[in-house]
Amino acid sequence: MPQSDHSSSLFSAFDLGGLKVNNRLALAPMTRSKAGPERLANPLIAEYYAQRASAGLVITEATTVSAQGNGYLNTPGIYTDEMGDAWRQVTEAVHAKGGRIFLQLWHTGRASHSEFHDGAQPVSASAIRIEGDGVHTPSGKQDYEVPRALETGELKGVVADYVSAAERAKAAGFDGVEIHAANGYLLDQFLQSKTNQRTDEYGSSVENRFRLLREVVEGVVAVFGGNRVAVRLAPNGMFNDMGSPDFRETFTYAAKELEAYGLAYLHVMDGLAFGFHEQGEPMTLEDFRAIFTGPLMANCGYDRQMSIDAVQRGAADMVAIGRPYISNPDLAERWENSWPEAPLSEPTSWYTLEQVAAGFTDYPVYEAGGK
């Protein structure tokens, strides 16, 4: 089982489950919607990740494991052989720069719309709709719909989709995979009591609500080995209308159970930058450190000094950085050398659907004249 190492700085090398990474920074997974309607990785996406390969670990944008898992426009998938093959250009580009890259596995669940599924309802743990601003569909922004609760007999198929996606990721040359069980997507919907009101073996108790995530982890670990599999959790998050009164019990149980799999890391969105559900005191990295001895990755709203401090005090082994990496492809070098950061890019450029360099791959590195 990988053990955490609390002795080094943010800019020191780290043994991540037998995978040497050059520093403790990770490129956080961020939806960029550049894969086109066919949901295929392409040369522009390969260039984007290669530009950021100096991060200790590159984690790709969330990538759907099935057509049923789709819920965003032009995000990539890995549920066909063509999709899997398309990702190889990305892994090769990152590896050519000396980088390491994990693919994030995703099923949006109820955070979707029937327009993505030929009129069929989106699915979830229970028939509870998102109370929120709405979802962007091929015909424009629409209200969220009441999802269909997945039948017990369908869940083995959901697990099989994750396993098949992991197999394709391995064949495409990824160093590992991160299972997205955060931010109100399908696995989080099963895990949390707010969205899981089932009475079968996948509901009622915290043990049963964890069952689907456990089965997915076991299936994916069988493909990659535990030291090349990570899990992402969001104990404090309210994104996609999440937040359960028993969140501390739920996420404490999940972390304790995940300990047994020797994961590459546990990715904890402890920060409150995207809002806090206010169901109690936020869970901290220290809360997770007390119950999970493997590598911990912090995330959500961290700046340079916060990241340095989290590693120095032993609360985190790595820190995932999102938005600053959009306009600073060389963020690791800028932070290590105390060079100035380029300002955050305009939010309007983050999710443009066009496959163009503008706002995606056209940010200069500091040595080349970046600010």
38-63 pLDDT, tens digit per residue, is: 999 999 999 999 999 999 999 999 99
Tell me whether residue 262 is in a domain. yes
Tell me whether residue 5 is in a domain. no
Tell me whether residue 167 is in a domain. yes
The average pLDDT across 154-164 equals 98
- Give pTM, 2 decimals: 0.96
The average pLDDT across 247-271 equals 98
Pick the catalytic residue: 48, 49, 79, 185? Answer: 185
pLDDT at 346: 79
| Contact present, 59 and 27 (Cβ < 8 Å) | yes
Model confidence at 330, pLDDT cuts 50, 70, 90, reads: very high
pLDDT at 8: 63
Task: Please give the mean pLDDT across all residues of the chain.
Answer: 95
Tell me whether residue 158 is in a domain. yes
Tell me whether residue 3 is in a domain. no
Q: Which domain holds residue 127?
A: 14-368
CA gap 25, 57 in Å, rounded:
7
Which amino acid, 357?
A
Q: What is the CATH number of the domain that holds 350?
A: 3.20.20.70
CA gap 33, 61 in Å, rounded:
9
Q: How many domains does the chain have?
A: 1
Tell me whether residue 8 is in a domain. no
pLDDT above 70 covers what percent of the chain?
Answer: 97
Give me the residues paired with residue 104 across strands: 62, 178
- Give the angle 236-238-240 at the CA atoms, nearest 5°: 140
pLDDT, tens digit (0-9, with 9 covering 90-100), for 284-321: 999 999 999 999 999 999 999 999 999 999 999 999 99
pLDDT, tens digit (0-9, with 9 covering 90-100), for 144-158: 999 999 999 999 999
Give CA separation, 59 vs 46, 193, 250, 322, in Å.
13, 28, 25, 10
C-alpha distance across the termini of the chain, in Å: 42
CA gap 123, 145 in Å, rounded:
10
Give CA separation, 168 vs 77, 161, 200, in Å.
11, 11, 31
185 counts as catalytic: yes
Helix axes 43-51, 81-96, angle to 10 degrees: 30
| Contact present, 274 and 309 (Cβ < 8 Å) | no
Given a cut of 50, whether residue 2 has pLDDT beyond it is no
Tell me whether residue 2 is in a domain. no
